[in-house]
Amino acid sequence: MTDRVKDWSRKNLFSSAFNSVLTVVFGVLILYTLYRSLRFVFLDARWEIIDRNLTNILVFRFPRDELWRVWLALYLFSAALGFAAGAAARRAGTGSTSAALRRAGPVLVLVAVFLWFSGSFRAVLLTAGVAAVAIGFRALGRRLPLRTAWVVLAVGGGIVLAFAAIMAFDGVGFERWGGLMLTVFLAVAGIAISFPIGVLLALGRRSSLPGVRIVCVAYIELFRGVPLITVLFMGAFTLGFFLPPGTPTPSLETRALVALVVFTSAYVAEIVRGGLQAVPVGQVEAAQALGLSSLKTTRLIVLPQALRAVIPALVGQFISLFKDTSLVATIGLAELLNVSQIITGQPDFVAQGLVFETLIFAAFVYWVGSYSMSRESQRLERRLGVGER
């Protein structure tokens, strides 16, 4: 055992004089950083502000007596995601449970942190229920031999239902959402609405009709050439001006969502274009030889292959949208980042420099979401075998 350690460290840490110096310097630096971080998290940080504001950070202005709707939505959401995971596992075979736990590690830590701060037994029970539903639907997804289209429909329907559970039936419109919930909503709704627009723009850019092509290229290049924040400002300050006079100005949330969609669809279009270009010409020629119309060629032959190839890149775009939703804080929307600044102004916490704690907490939440998704997307990429054919 000691010999193996010796061999390993000689090879990986002390292979040359230079490497030995590096190891010592980095070792000291890392140990010091680790010591300071752990000390901060477990001793110095004053987490009361998170403790008292957990609900604010998660939903902000959302009416407290309607919170059951959020739980209901969470159940629907986890059912849909569990079903999707099960269906995917049926196709590709399943990995070991320990690997799955390791992958879910950051998310589990995040949920544990949330529950720790919530300090409520009911929340623990409800969360356990969410997990149970996810696992149950995963098993169901693995059993039911459904076609891909049905799976996509079921999952999409589940997500739509989840949003409907909150908004419909005298529910709470997304104008009154906030915190992490608004962040997730803007990202999910943003990518979902951008996707069809992006596909159309990509097809337009590849069109043989110059009139269509030029318009699509102009749109795509314009919005890819400017920062998101300028589009957000344009939307937040001027969207009402572009509507027929007399129409009431849409809410700030709606205007932000429109700006996010306008911006993101240009990026989705470029991703889809990459997928379209990757479809071999022979596929189109074969479709033409079969006598398919150009519409049918696109719908039945080109798009299915192109979209399958771009799924990982689309997940990447979703991740960057998830991070970019933080920009709506600059136009005054109370999403995760903005809430973490707002709560430092509460009478109990004002002017105590607690922004350190709240920003680190917000960064941690963003990190878990973004890191886990990028990991899953890499796995998806390997599974789909993109770039291997």
Partner 1 sequence: MSANPVVTRRPPPWRDVRVLRVVLQLAFLAGVGLLVLFLYFNLTASLRRLGIQTGWGWLDEPSGFAIPDSDFRSSQPISDALIEGAVNTLKVSALGIVLATILGVVVGVARLSTNWLVRKAAAAFVETIRNIPVLVIIIFWYLAVLLRLPPISSAVEWGDLLVLSNRGLVVPKIVGEGDQAVFGVFIVAGLAAAVAAWIWRTRRFDATGEPHHRVLWSGGVVLAVALVGFFAGGMPLAVSLPERGDLGTREGFRLAPEYAALLIALVLYTASHIAEIVRGSILAVHRGQGEAADALGLSGFQRLRLVILPQAFRIMIPPLANQFLNLTKNSSLGVAISYYEVTRVTRIAVSQAAPAPQAFAVLMAIYLFFSLTIAAITNLVDRRLAYKGR
- The footprint of partner 1 (CB under 8 A) covers 12-13, 15, 19, 22-23, 26-27, 29-30, 208-212, 215, 222, 224-231, 233-234, 237-238, 240-245, 323-324, 326-327, 329-330, 337, 341, 353, 355-356, 359-360, 362-363, 366-367, 370-371, 374
Dihedral sign for Cα 180, 175, 194, 295, please. positive
> What's the closest the beta carbon of residue 93 comes to partner 1, in angstroms?
27
Q: Compare residues 73 and 259 and give the one whose CB is closer to partner 1.
A: 259
> What's the closest the beta carbon of residue 89 comes to partner 1, in angstroms?
25
> What's the closest the beta carbon of residue 126 comes to partner 1, in angstroms?
28
**Residue 94 CA to its chain's centroid (Å):** 23
Distance CA 327, CA 363 (A): 14
N-term to C-term CA, the chain: 43
> What's the closest the beta carbon of residue 63 comes to partner 1, in angstroms?
28
Q: Compare residues 84 and 328 and give the one whose CB is closer to partner 1.
A: 328
Burial of 45 (0-12, 13-18, 19+ CB in 10 A): middle
Phi, psi of 24 (to 5 degrees): -65, -50
Strand partners, 335: 179
User: Which residue type is seen at 18?
Assistant: F
> What's the closest the beta carbon of residue 267 comes to partner 1, in angstroms?
12
Q: Compare residues 60 and 75 and give the one whose CB is closer to partner 1.
A: 60
Return the percent helix, strand and coil in the chain, to nearest 5.
80, 0, 20
Whether the CB-CB separation of 313 and 272 falls below 8 Å is answered with no
> What's the closest the beta carbon of residue 128 comes to partner 1, in angstroms?
27
Q: Compare residues 120 and 293 and give the one whose CB is closer to partner 1.
A: 293
Q: Compare residues 47 and 233 and give the one whose CB is closer to partner 1.
A: 233
Q: Compare residues 253 and 324 and give the one whose CB is closer to partner 1.
A: 324
> What's the closest the beta carbon of residue 200 comes to partner 1, in angstroms?
12
Q: Helices (H), strands (E): how many in the chain?
A: 17, 0
Q: Compare residues 91 and 224 and give the one whose CB is closer to partner 1.
A: 224
What is Dmax (Cα atoms) for the chain? 81
Crossing angle for the helix pair 179-205 and 303-324, to the nearest 10 degrees: 140
